[in-house]
Structure 1
């Protein structure tokens, strides 16, 4: 098949960024925090090893503070088969109050002092458990803002992957990323603060199936959800335009390969897939209720990996590795 991408070195960078978090069977904070889903990591890592993929595991506090969980990730880290980063859930990261737990509060809605304290504690927990400070981050529920970026800068972080282009979270009092850039960039370009010129944003891979620009794009993104995402204009109805995420839980293998071809065809050199660790074990999220569901999820990953590795010249990189590559391109 003809390769449609336009890259100087013919390389497509594959990033797998996984939110490694506590069990959330009904997508709510549990009275008693458990981390049973970590039992599924070994099988997942075996699949990554088969393809030579180095994932980035972004850990919440309950994972970083659980000795059994740490014992799963530590050998993978020590053998240079993954990166360990951080993922902030305010409702499980000390100091915790009842309101954060009840509302599953977004980090971007926290008082700046509390946000800083939580990020310090999360970063410290990972450092204590793994002997290294994390440098990659994703905000829980994508609750990211300038205050978060400035605190990450102060704590020595190098990469964020919280931004979801073409998507607003205002319905849950979160940030609006509708018009954010799809390609990686320095965060000073978003926030106009030169002190963020070393902090790289690697957005989750999302795209429209038609390359709308200007007014047409703005009109589409502001349409009611019933019309837009999985609505009247989607493949399920009129088949005019869709929005696809590189998220194997909610999208088919065919949709994800289509998304990847679209992004690479438009000159993007990065494919950033994300999902949650509790989605790889039966009953620990709102998805995948049976072992058959889990088997289907793995089949989907294999189909996708087989496709992109055969179609493109793919280089798997962790978030930190990609950040170094990204900066190296510009020096």
Structure 2
């Protein structure tokens, strides 16, 4: 198995008095946590680092050149690289041209790659912060002009240091229904810019026959192809005008302008994109939805649940108040090994100290007698890609020891959904989020509905589950607004701390 590349970003000659968005923090904010990048800063003064989520970066190192200046820096840098260069596959320099001969020699000697690009010496810091992308790839001026400096650094969907539990008044359990309103595409094929088939939106009325019986008002999280084409937006407009649904946003990067990145598996996760590009795509999607439906979307989901270290800051800057991009127990590729990636669904929580953006996770959990910490430790081996050919997970589920369940009619049975709800209720959960994909209502679009009979069973699943939730659980159907604006905020907020990786 090929290891993910680990890149060392070398930032040299830090000078006091510069903006907090100096070359070091620009690199920190752009790097993907799943790639294990690190930053090494050399200079007389410690950089002023803004409060960022710890998960943004594997580590930040600082070397002082001391009173001896350049000579001391050369010696310190040489020693550090000799001790640590073996941990990296490549080195990239930012504003460190004076170190190039030394670093090039050490990279060549050790067989490490020296990556060209980065922030050249003399580049204004604000412009540098906007231009630096993943692996130092520069993005076009039109996108770089959307300043990353407008974003705060005070929110994170995945870093618990920024989180605060949302407190709700007493009452029955609440159930949200969220639908990924998106184009149909072959899930086993590579991602394509040409995937724009939204004809399945014409079949959404079939589910509304079930919704009307149970008082369900779903929120359609629409992506760009749905909002930009009449075949997608017309059915939603009718439902919206009749008060039968609400509309939010869902980001599929590969079909959302601007199209300047390479379309591949990694870039299908919005959080892997350079921050300026993720911001610009989110802005384009938001504006398109507002123009199409006459109101700004305020609830958001990152397609494929691919949140990044700055996704929460982007959503706050665009006026969103709810995110639903967390998929517990189903970590996307590249995040399966991170701490907490296999943890069961947390309750809704605030992702910032201001309590302006709430995360409402999709309901999912590890269920069974071995659930808990022992289950989370076993989950990567039972449910990871390598375990699919083995019958171990099925045997564990049949014995009632451990199973992974998500609240959806796609690939889950009604008895499984009932076990999930009972398990989460026992754990103190009172807000549940059910989800599915809009193309599932047209046979042949998804693996879950291949013919009319399977679609009938899909709709019957919804009917049976809603009946169970209302009659057996005593719950009621709710909208995302009821959850977001009906919650209290009485929990104590832990103080945010600066990254303490700097000595």
The residue that corresponds to 1:219 in the other structure is 377
Change in Cα spacing, 1:174 to 1:155, as seen in structure 2 (3 Å) is: farther
8 Å Cα contact 1:160-1:201 kept in structure 2: yes
Deviations 1:241-282 (A, max 9, x none): 111110211100111111111111222001111111011111
Deviations 1:110-143 (A, max 9, x none): 1101000000000000000011000001111000
| 1:202 and 2:366 correspond | no
The residue that corresponds to 1:270 in the other structure is 431
- In the TM superposition, 1:281-300 aligns within 5 A as 281-300=442-461
Q: Please, which moves more after superposition, 239-248 or 216-225? A: 216-225
8 Å Cα contact 1:20-1:58 kept in structure 2: yes
The residue that corresponds to 2:244 in the other structure is 81
8 Å Cα contact 1:123-1:134 kept in structure 2: yes
Relative to the length of structure 2, the TM-score reads 0.58
Cα RMSD (Å): 2.8
User: Deviation of residue 21 (structure 1)?
Assistant: 0.2
8 Å Cα contact 2:202-2:231 kept in structure 1: no
Q: Please, which moves more after superposition, 22-31 or 144-153? A: 22-31
Q: How many residues align?
A: 319
Of 255, 258, 262, the match for 1:92: 255
The residue that corresponds to 1:184 in the other structure is 348
Deviations 1:141-164 (A, max 9, x none): 000123111000000000011111
The residue that corresponds to 1:247 in the other structure is 408
CA distance in 2, matches of 1:230, 1:202: 33
- In the TM superposition, 1:12-161 aligns within 5 A as 12-28=173-189, 29=191, 31=194, 33-97=196-260, 99-100=262-263, 105-161=268-324
| 1:11 and 2:11 correspond | no
CA distance in 2, matches of 1:162, 1:186: 13
CA distance in 2, matches of 1:213, 1:258: 13
| 1:303 and 2:303 correspond | no
Deviations 1:214-263 (A, max 9, x none): 64244223435366998514456544211111021110011111111111
8 Å Cα contact 1:40-1:280 kept in structure 2: yes
Q: Please, which moves more after superposition, 296-305 or 53-62? A: 296-305
CA distance in 2, matches of 1:272, 1:25: 26
Change in Cα spacing, 1:282 to 1:104, as seen in structure 2 (3 Å) is: farther
Change in Cα spacing, 1:173 to 1:116, as seen in structure 2 (3 Å) is: farther
8 Å Cα contact 1:135-1:320 kept in structure 2: no
Q: Which one has a bigger Cα radius of gyration?
A: 2
Report SS of the residue matched to 2:465.
helix
8 Å Cα contact 2:369-2:401 kept in structure 1: no
CA distance in 2, matches of 1:214, 1:289: 36
8 Å Cα contact 1:158-1:320 kept in structure 2: no
CA distance in 1, matches of 2:176, 2:211: 11
8 Å Cα contact 1:164-1:177 kept in structure 2: no
Change in Cα spacing, 1:218 to 1:287, as seen in structure 2 (3 Å) is: closer
- In the TM superposition, 1:221-236 aligns within 5 A as 221-224=379-382, 225=384, 231-235=391-395
Report SS of the residue matched to 1:223.
helix
Higher relative contact order, chain-length normalized (CA < 8 Å, sep 6+): 1
Report SS of the residue matched to 1:24.
coil
| 1:324 and 2:467 correspond | no
